[in-house]
Amino acid sequence: MFDPVEIRKHFPIYERFQRENIVYLDNAATTQKPKEVIDAIVNYYENSNSNVHRGVYRIGEEATDLYNKSRENIAGFTGGKPEGTIFVRNATEALNLAANSLTRMIGKKFEVLVSRMEHHSNIVPWQIASDTFGIRLKMMESNIDRPLSWGDIERNITKDTRIVSLTHVSNLLGTINDLREIGKNLHERGIYFIVDAAQSVPHMPVNFRDLNCDLMAFSGHKMLGPSGIGVLQGTPEILEDMPPYMGGGEMIKEVFEDHFIAADIPEKFEAGTPNIEGAIGLSAAVNFLKNLRMESIRQHEKDLIAYTLEKEDELNIPSLISYGPRDPEVRGGIYSFNMRKNVESERPFGNEVHPHDISHLADRIEGVEVRSGHHCAMPQTVSLGVYATARASFYIYNTREDVDHLFDAIEKIGKRMIK
């Protein structure tokens, strides 16, 4: 039975949360770390600390074995192959790698299609590639109340479209895009498909092959792992053809005065000493999530967002406005909202209590910790007619009582700030 209260016992920081009555609801930004992850990192440093790959002495071989087994475990978790699993710092670096290397591989002017709901990490790298390589970036509209469909994509692709890069789950709206049909249809048209899975891999069953994508990015720190470790997962065939993103040690087979020969994948994309302890910690996080079962995690979050939307309807707070699909089946555990200063005014922009004030007061009044800002999704935020939102986001250790505290805070802020 999935019991978030029992799950909390694995997280040392919850001792402080309980002592200080903290309700942590900022999991889309980063998640807390269970003792199993912390212990795996400490154990590596205390017992097997060495650089990997070339050390033929005992602890060097131990470190290399831990690193390689971590890659195998993480690859299997998302249905990829170890040689197609590239360790990077985070999903942002993964998407930068994809934008740079895939653009250079294609090697001529073409069009890249993204949606308005993308995180900046899936917009800015393509803007840089546009400036550097002369490609054309096209951003299509996205409906704030429903997922993207193949019809949306089909209306926007052209004969020049060579890459489509989409988020699996919006980190602002919580929208879950059903990407399987999109990927299948793109492949039939010879278009490369990239998926930003930073907000899906931690929260639901995700299989790289089932998504019909060519490249997929996700971050360790959003799925109980340490910061500074992420993954770009790809088909080995495409990764073999893509040129290296960074140069230096580890990523080479041979170096001559006037040229080099790159190493085989995945090392070709892992220049320099890797984040060894990060990979080991992320592998431990994967084991923790597998023990909970991703299907159960998804069901738990679906229950929490359904309860959140029901609570919002029940309380009917006049100043409160929230964003995103109302169907929990197509929504992750993300709840973005604003509060209008003047409930009589229909004008949204400039009529909100500043989300920073909401976040500050929610913490001071009720111990509820939510994020505020544009959440690295400014095009989508602006399309809502606002400059920022407050955002609560749930994970495995959150409960319905946490949602109650959130609305207690919202009601109290309303009484203090609203006309």
Domain boundary assignment for the chain: 4-30+293-417, 37-291
Q: Which residue stretches of the chain have pLDDT < 70?
A: 344-350, 419
Phi/psi for 143 (5° steps) reads -80, 130
Q: Nearest-CA neighbor of 89 among 217, 224, 263?
A: 217
Q: What is the pLDDT of residue 347?
A: 58
- The CA-based angle 269-177-196, given to 5 degrees, is 15
Beta-carbon contacts of 379 under 8 Å, excluding residues fewer than 6 positions away, are: 116, 118, 123, 139
Q: Which of 376, 386, 390, 396 is catalytic?
A: 376
Fold of 4-30+293-417: Aspartate Aminotransferase, domain 1 (3.90.1150)
d(CA 259, CA 162): 30
79: left (phi over 0), alpha (psi -120 to 50) or beta: left
Q: Nearest-CA neighbor of 117 among 379, 382, 334?
A: 379
Q: What is the pLDDT of residue 109?
A: 87
Say how far residue 399 (Cα) sits from the centre of its chain: 22
Q: Which amino acid is at 193?
A: F
Beta-carbon contacts of 109 under 8 Å, excluding residues fewer than 6 positions away, are: 133, 134, 135, 136, 160
Residue 213 designated active-site:
no
Task: Kindly write down the DSSP assignment for every residue of 101-141, as one continuous string.
Answer: HHHHHH-S--EEEEETT--GGGTHHHHHHHHHH--EEEEE-
Largest CA distance in the chain: 73
Q: What is the pLDDT of residue 56?
A: 84
d(CA 115, CA 109): 20
Q: What is the pLDDT of residue 350?
A: 64
Radius of gyration of the chain (CA): 22
Q: What is the pLDDT of residue 417?
A: 78
Q: What is the pLDDT of residue 349?
A: 59
Side by side, which strands form the sheet with 111-115?
85-88, 230-234, 215-219, 192-196, 161-167, 111-115, 136-140
Q: What is the pLDDT of residue 74?
A: 98
- Residue 99 DSSP SS3: helix
Q: What is the pLDDT of residues 177-202, one digit of tens each?
A: 999 999 999 999 999 999 999 999 99
Q: Nearest-CA neighbor of 122 among 139, 101, 104?
A: 139
Burial class (CB in 10 A: 0-12, 13-18, 19+), 415: exposed
Query: How far is the CA of 393 from the CAs of 304, 317, 333, 346, in angstroms?
Result: 10, 20, 6, 27
Q: What is the pLDDT of residue 14?
A: 98
Q: pTM of the full predicted structure? A: 0.96
Task: Specify the residue for token string 């964003």.
Answer: 323
H helices of 212-274, where?
Answer: 236-241
Say if domain 37-291 classifies as CATH 3.20.20.70. Answer: no
